[in-house]
Structure 1
Amino acid sequence: MAGRFQQYLFGYVRIRISGPFTEHFLNNCVRRGIRLWDLCPVRAGEYELCLFVRDFLKIRKLVRKTGTKVTVTHRAGLPFFRSRYRKRRGLILGFFLCIFLLHLLSGRIWSIEFSGNQTCTDEALLKYLGENNISCGMKKTQINCSRIASEIRKTYDEILWASVSIDGSRLRIQIKENEYRADAGKETDDDPSSASWKGFDLVADLDGIIREIVTLEGVPLVEAGDSVKKGEILVSGQVPILNDAKEVTGYQFRRADARITAEAQIVYHDTAAMSSVEKTYDSVQKRENFLQVGSFRFSFGGIQNNYKNWTFWGYERHLSIGSLDLPVSYGCRLASPYTPRRKTLGLQAVQKILSASFSRYKEDLEKKGVEIIENNVKIYTESQEAAASGKLKVLTPIGVSKPAKAPASSEEEKEKNTWDLQKQ
């Protein structure tokens, strides 16, 4: 590898020698310290070989002395490249300018990507980062990934975990939101180290009959076969501590967790109009092409119009080189006018629309782990609209986590027991 680099750096030529004393010529070259390589015979009395450009200038006397004929067959290396493009200075300048720009752009952040966020929108997170002087175009060396992740977790209570990393010229922010976050004003309820933390109960989020329960954490208050109402505690996060006399002396607070399956009924209702609007698009349309470089936007054309009815669509594509996102994008926007016409749908078409919507609803239920065991949904038609309505009997996971209330003190329990005895 080093030898090839040296050959390219100093330049070399490949020559063909012929004559009656070619062997004598080769011996004299070696004796004078001229480096030869890739020597190979062509025919009787003819050879091809390579040597450096600086050595090629030294063999003139040997050529005349031995009567050898020399023909250059190939030239290679930096000296010849420089000579070839000596007059094309713009090309060479552009090459080095391109290298400089790539080096400059690769040291900055040109896009910010979020993943895992549901309640916190990309726009809100981008606005927050901008307020903290974190935006596209800043240097990578100015970004402290751990500090950004920590500040995001402190600012947004619903974000449980955040990870910030740099991938090429892209800033990746991965987020895990807290599914069990408490209401606003109760920030300490979700902190086990807080003195006001009393654990979390698992509460029924719908009416049903318990079919299976596997408790992972906490004290189960229901068992298979029990009927429960919405809001009823299924598993308590307050584990009682008993003494030798089986008396409650205190509580350990936990986040209740269990796998609970219940049989429940879900009411389904969906409607569809018996007519639809059909759009007939005109052949004329407004078009705008644009090119955006950083914060500068260049537009060609426009979509300003006086159309009564029209639709708008477009696209934008960012340029990138591998994982290097460039601050350059281009795209197009179109405004297409149309003439609306109301079309009456047949019964089969409406049934097809409602059936497709119901199929998507069932697929969403299956993704959530819900199993349909009885389907009583039917389609009803009227003059203006049709409806798919009915009840579904399902086996569904049940239970949501909610902050537990503080347990009654021992004195309150005694007073309650005394009052119950007096009533009896």
Structure 2
Amino acid sequence: MKQEQGTWIRGYLTIHVIGSRPELFLDLCARNEIYVWDIHKIDKQTCVANIFVKDLLKIKKIRKKTRYKIQFKKRTGLPFTWKKFKKRKALMFGIVLSVLFVFFLSNMVWKIEIDGVRPEVEKQIRTSLRANGVYPGVLKFSVESPSKLQRLVLDNNPELLWVGVKEKGTTYTLEGVEKTTISEQEVKSPSNIVANKSGVIVDMYVSKGKPLAKINDFVEKGEILVAGDLKTADAIDEEKGEENEKEEGEYQIAAEAEIYANTWYESTISVPMEVTYQAITGEVNNKYYLGGNNQKVPIWGFFQEEYQSSRIEEEQNSIYFFQWELPIYFYKKEVYELEEVVEKRSEKEAKELGIRQAKIDLQETLGQAAEITNEKILHEASENGKVKLELYFTVKENIAKIQDLSQGD
């Protein structure tokens, strides 16, 4: 018979069958469903064959009914190897401990490389990573995924335009791109400062050019506030005698100024007086799995109470042995408990919330440099369970806009 696969794992014996016509004994074994292979005859009285360990008792029972002698010459396979190891417990313990130690070391962060940034920025990145538990020597299972690390580094280092995070074995590689500040050109083309919005001027800071408006003036959008054409602005009266001798371009400069004015905006917003939403209670169950090929084996946290309503976040980490990535993954599942919250608001609360939300929306549109100085309710109505507001905002903002003289008024 041909050898069957997995014989070493199951364990087998090499036997010598001694007697007259020993092949008849092996035929008797086959008739009793004993698997026999690698049969060959040494001489007229002896045959050699292999049998599985599990069939040993069957062989002994058959031998008792015959006159053949059975000699066990060789023991091969995992059961016998395991038996040898059991006799050497210290050696076995050392091997298991060594494998676990290597496995442990293979799943630690040993190196963090940062490229593409200046040394001082690199130091800031390393400091922010350490503050968030990412440093050489930490277990990779406790480190956030590369995408989360990327957001973390960008949030903590505003001077970075982009950063890429790659995980390779026990090394994390970060490649960053810094924001570049374009320095202003020393020589600028002649220009005026005009109003980009209509409003009433409250502050003026003119460093270059001829002011054509003053504080408390109402100006229209597009109106010239600071002239860069000094000749047109009649700003060279003291040089009238030499005016015809100079070229027109000598009286044109790049105006520079900051002009702050009160501007006005209207907004309409509707706020429900009752709203239902799901909120996280603060309770969370952490579950851990080992798995691969779409199969997961729970290893911790699987006896925890299930929530009626929950939000689940999963994280997958590769497992390494030396530099090889194993086809096994470590999964962490965070299950957050959710509860349904019904919030009822009074008309006053809804109105305050609407004003606050309208101010936030307007601030996001105008930018943080603008300052909302006043708000006024033009119209207020309550219908169909909602409070509808028409609001009027006064904003202090910089309305200066550079207009190249070549563009005209």
Give the TM-score, by structure 1 length: 0.40
Task: Kindly name which structure, 1 or 2, has the bigger radius of gyration based on alpha carbons.
Answer: 2
Give the TM-score, by structure 2 length: 0.41
